[in-house]
Amino acid sequence: MVVKKDDYIEISREGAIEYRDKLKNDYLYVEFEVPEGIKYIEVSYSFSREKGCIIDIGIIDSKGRFRGWSGSSKKNFFISREKATPGYIEGEIDPGNWIVILGLAKIPENEICKYTVRICMSRKISRDADIRNSTEFRSYIKNNSAKEKNANTSHRLRWIKGDLHTHTIHSDGRNTIYDLIYKAVEKGLEYVAITDHNTTSTSLEIKRLEERGDIIPVKILPGIEITTYYGHMNVWGGEWFDFRLRTREDFISIIREVHRRNLAISINHPVRGIVDCIGCDFLFRDIRGFDALEVWNGPWFAGNSNALEWWHDILCERYRVSAVGGSDYHGNRESPVDLGIPTTYIYADIDSIESIIEAIKEGRTFVTATPSGPVINPIVYYNGNAYTIGDIVKIDSTRKTPLVSDIEVIGASGYTLRLIGSSGVIKAIKIDDHRFNYRGEIIIDPENDPFVRFEIGEYSDPFSLKLKNSDIISVITSPIYIEPNIKNASL
């Protein structure tokens, strides 16, 4: 149905989707024509939620540009030249054929999912976006003296702490970017990655903050969570990637594309059996080539041991894959998920996004329970050289020369430090002080062992890699790698 007035056009489209439709394609495309002179487009939709159906929504403009995505978290959105609903990208409303994308997230086998899409177009601007005025924000930043806080730590490599996985109102989160920055400051984080689902509108808003001179007391790492119905992946750097992936070849292609752009890609929360999270588990577990794996998502008790086990198996295959963590914070007060739980430390220059991304790729990371720790500083010595997390030790494979470890731990008294290789737990040491040091030999097989990594936790059996529900992890480090027994995971 089409209704036309002098400055106003309304289009309504209805349809029904069955399970067999999803088996053919995960997306349905509703096309509509935008005439000359349109300055404002608003789209609203509804579907049979009461039948267990879930349909996502987004839009592509007449130039083939992706203009936004909101999953099923918003019932409507608008786009104009100057403003847009968070999650969508403002700009020129070019005439021609536009496309509303309907994502068939959940179509029950024995149900018919009906939907209605309503498109309103106007030659007048109808309303403003709900974006907070920056006056309060600028005052807050001034009072927190961000420049002074960072003056002695910028432009050099050091361990920086933050959260690599968060969401805002630009997808299904409840926080504005301002809200997230406030909370990051309160938590003592130094960086926060905003990885909203399938959209880069967050990155554009961050860029506007920077261009107008706002001083931000934490480093904002722009990113995107490529959210598919067969797995979720974080890419940091602020670029958009097409999320309409379905096959194994599609996922291999996107990993290659990320690397072509010199960015880093991580598999998110690969935990079996997550309830009420569509596509959260990564289906194609035989794929390699990703740079990192989210071994810790949200509170530890939320099934993370499965992700840790998979990552360990990948390391045993001799691939170089970094350990990262992220809260997956959405700002939901009813949820146990909180910003900075867990926290990922990265050895990088905080003023350089490129440095942070490269450090993730190189494995200069460790994950800890909270922003206040515990923290670990493991050093190993071999043939007079010192190595730490992410480094590659070149071993003489003709003889079994031990590595000498010098490990400092702060804030983990009463816990157990574990040194882990491909064959299992090499050593388990009880930590008996707030500031603890351990020095000892690490005997490895120079022909077969590809890594040494470190954990801190409470274990019912300190020498078993098979964790029990009562076991609690406090720290996971990326490995120190052993050459020539490793291979890069690049495709």
The CATH number of the structural domain formed by 134-373 is 3.20.20.140
Q: Find the mean pLDDT for residues 26-41.
A: 97
Please give the backbone phi and psi of residue 310, each rounded to the nearest 5 degrees, phi first: -65, -45
Q: Which of 165-169, 233-237, 326-330, 480-484 has the lowest mean pLDDT?
A: 480-484
pLDDT of 190-203, one tens digit each?
999 999 999 999 99
Residue 177 CA to residue 188 CA, distance in Å, equals 17
pLDDT band at 242 (very low <50, low <70, confident <90, very high): very high
Asked whether 441 and 405 are in contact (CB, 8 A), the reply is: yes
Q: Is the dihedral of CA 274, 276, 280, 284 positive or negative?
A: positive
Whether the predicted pLDDT of 248 surpasses 90: yes
Whether the predicted pLDDT of 394 surpasses 50: yes
pLDDT band at 131 (very low <50, low <70, confident <90, very high): very low
Q: Which residues, including other chains, have CB under 8 Å from residue 308's CB and lie 6 or more apart?
A: 295, 296, 467, 473, 476
The CATH number of the structural domain formed by 2-122 is 2.60.120.380
Q: Find the mean pLDDT for residues 207-219.
A: 85
Q: What is the torsion angle, in degrees rounded to the nearest 10, for the CA atoms of residue 200, residue 364, residue 260 and residue 169? A: -10
Element (H, E) at 408: strand 403-410
Query: What does the DSSP 8-state code read for residue 128?
Result: -
Whether the predicted pLDDT of 284 surpasses 70: yes
Angle (CA) 293 480 491, round 5°: 45
Q: At which residue do the structure tokens 């601007």 appear? A: 125
**Amino acid 7: pLDDT:** 82
> Global pTM?
0.93
pLDDT band at 146 (very low <50, low <70, confident <90, very high): very low
Closest CA to 210 of 177, 188, 246, 242: 177
**Amino acid 402: pLDDT:** 86
Q: Find the mean pLDDT for residues 304-326.
A: 96
Fold of 374-491: Immunoglobulin-like (2.60.40)
Q: Which of 43-52, 96-105, 133-142 has the lowest mean pLDDT?
A: 133-142
Q: Find the mean pLDDT for residues 173-194.
A: 96
Given the DSSP bridges, would you call strands 54-60 and 66-71 parallel, antiparallel or unpaired?
A: antiparallel
Whether the predicted pLDDT of 305 surpasses 70: yes
pLDDT of 398-453, one tens digit each?
777 789 999 999 999 999 999 999 999 999 999 999 999 999 999 888 778 999 99
**Amino acid 149: pLDDT:** 44
Closest CA to 344 of 319, 314, 312, 369: 369
**Amino acid 446: pLDDT:** 76
Assigned token pair, 321: 């894959």
* Most confident option among 127-131, 223-227, 331-335: 223-227
Residue 393 CA to residue 453 CA, distance in Å, equals 13
Given the DSSP bridges, would you call strands 392-394 and 480-483 parallel, antiparallel or unpaired?
A: parallel
**Amino acid 135: pLDDT:** 39
Closest CA to 239 of 250, 223, 256, 255: 223
- In terms of phi and psi (left: phi > 0; alpha: psi -120 to 50; beta: otherwise), the region of 198 is left
Given the DSSP bridges, would you call strands 76-80 and 40-47 parallel, antiparallel or unpaired?
A: antiparallel
134-373 has the same fold as 2-122: no
| Residue-range domain boundaries for the chain | 2-122, 134-373, 374-491
**Amino acid 488: pLDDT:** 66
Selected residue with higher pLDDT from 352 and 147: 352
Selected residue with higher pLDDT from 335 and 6: 335
Assigned token pair, 5: 């007035």
Beta bridge pairs of residue 296:
325
Residue 160 CA to residue 256 CA, distance in Å, equals 28
Whether the predicted pLDDT of 130 surpasses 50: no
Assigned token pair, 285: 């577990």
Whether the predicted pLDDT of 132 surpasses 50: no
Q: Which residues, including other chains, have CB under 8 Å from residue 442's CB and lie 6 or more apart?
A: 380, 402, 403, 404, 405, 419, 421, 426, 427, 452
pLDDT band at 310 (very low <50, low <70, confident <90, very high): very high
Average pLDDT, the chain: 91
Q: Which of 132-146, 167-181, 326-340, 459-473 has the lowest mean pLDDT?
A: 132-146
pLDDT band at 491 (very low <50, low <70, confident <90, very high): low
**Amino acid 143: pLDDT:** 53
Query: For the CA atoms of the chain, what is the radius of gyration?
Result: 24
